[in-house]
Structure 1
Amino acid sequence: MVKTHYRIGLIRVLTAYDQEVLESHGRLLMSLFPDWEVLSLCIPDQPEGIHDEETKEKALPKIENLALSMIQGNIQGLIISCADDPAVDKLSKKLPIPVIGAGRSTALLAMGVGKRVGVIGITDETPIGMKEVLKDSLIKEIHPHGVNSTLDLMTPAGRASVLKEAFTLKKDGVDVVALACTGMSTVSLASEIKDRVCLPVIDPVRAEGFFMRAALGF
């Protein structure tokens, strides 16, 4: 039997000038799914990614244009690697392949793990797609002090702030933590929180990968 090989397109909403950073999410997914080849590209002129409505609005047409160009590269699936799921609904209707985002994927996995979900993100409110999934299971949402874009997560102070709030969530009775920024995957915060806070943690890049795998078929 010939083993199926999948070529997956992945869009980063952070303009990454460092190839290691650009390809970090793709490398993680290929380590989980060895039959995948992940093509990672980023949108231009968004050095702080998406972290509010203004940056999201600027990003939407860029994401759509990049997605339409990537579809020409014989990809079998497209991942928008952002917890806000920007352009996912629109592209899902337009493209003949699965289109998966990190936000709803993370929320759905969290619902499968626990009943009292705490969310840590880089905005004051949890992304709307995650809220629509979590509903009353969203016990608390936290925006760590000093973490206002994905770049802040790459600093020792930013990591420490996220970790501090994870302890707060545990104190407040959550039974699973959902990370609402794929930049937290870039710096492997899920494993650190799990080991130090002793709660299950849903990593958004892993989550988007699991749902893409489901869409492609196991």
Structure 2
Amino acid sequence: MNTYKIGVIRVLTTEDPELLNLHGRLLEQYYPMFQTVSRCIPDQWEGIHDDATMAAGVPKVVAMARQMYEEGFDAIIVSCAGDPGVAQARAEVPIPVIGGGESTATLARFYGGKVGTLGITADIPEAYPRILGDALIPEAGIGEGVRSALDLMTPAGREATMAAARHQQELGAQVLALSCTGMATIGIAPFIRDELGIPVLDPVLCEGAVTLFELLRRAQQPAPAQN
């Protein structure tokens, strides 16, 4: 089995190695052919959750992606459903750069029906309406009092998120596309699935699936002709 060196960019600054490496460990669990190295961008202690933190974070993601490419990584995952810096990094490096939001929205289309979201912002990340169109429930799913990934890690934040998931189903959601990778950090997807009885897409699982697909797709392309 081929193995791939995957750079995982975390957009929540942390000095906790367990938290830093959590998404990488999940990716290696889901995809045993991945060998991950996780790094967080600097000075984003509340992650990326609004226009100001997005503007500050994008150039940091691009710089880190460029460094990972220079170090010989096979692909880069920006583990954030807002996909900060993904498009810009793709213009900078020739290896796959995969974002959590694009991946989750794309795979949500597989199930058909109405798709609800569940995240940490009152605005749904850009990739979801762009990819899902009319299939997307336009009201963002967000737990009361939840404003950053840190809030998800509290009992109150978790319960508020469960309540928001139930409300998305009341609005007609037949699929839930989680719109914050912090949902993977707290491992909430299977609990929502078991309570609501509908598919719940974990962004970390989705970003890994799209990364593997793109690596395999590129491996099948013919080598450039030699002069």
Do these two structures clear the TM 0.5 threshold for a shared fold by scoring above it?
A: yes
Residue 36 of structure 2: aligned partner: 38
Give the alignment's TM-score, normalised by structure 1: 0.96
**TM-superposition CA deviations, 1:58-108 (whole Å, max 9, x none):** 111111111111112211000000001111111112211000000011111
Paired residues, what number? 216
The amino acid of 2:88's aligned partner reads: K
Q: Where has structure 1 moved over 3 Å in runs of 4 or more?
A: none
Contact 2:61 2:89 in 1 (8 A): no
Of residues 84, 89, 98, the one that matches 1:100 is 98
Aligned-residue identity in percent: 44
Q: 1:10-29 to 2 correspondence within 5 Å?
A: 10-29=8-27
Contact 2:6 2:77 in 1 (8 A): yes
Residue 145 of structure 1: aligned partner: 144
Q: Which runs of 5+ in 2 are unaligned?
A: 218-227
Residue 83 of structure 2: aligned partner: 85
Larger Rg: 2
Q: RMSD of the TM alignment (CA)?
A: 1.1
Q: Which runs of 5+ in 1 are unaligned?
A: none
Q: SS at the partner of 1:14?
A: coil
Residue 156 of structure 1: aligned partner: 155
Q: 1:1-218 to 2 correspondence within 5 Å?
A: 3-139=1-137, 140-217=139-216
The amino acid of 2:144's aligned partner reads: H
Inter-partner Cα distance in structure 2 for 1:5 and 1:211: 16
State the Cα distance separating 1:160 from its structure 2 match. Answer: 0.2
Higher mean Cα deviation, 181-190 or 107-116?
107-116
Inter-partner Cα distance in structure 2 for 1:150 and 1:98: 26
Inter-partner Cα distance in structure 1 for 2:98 and 2:19: 20
Give the alignment's TM-score, normalised by structure 2: 0.92
Residue 221 of structure 2: aligned partner: none
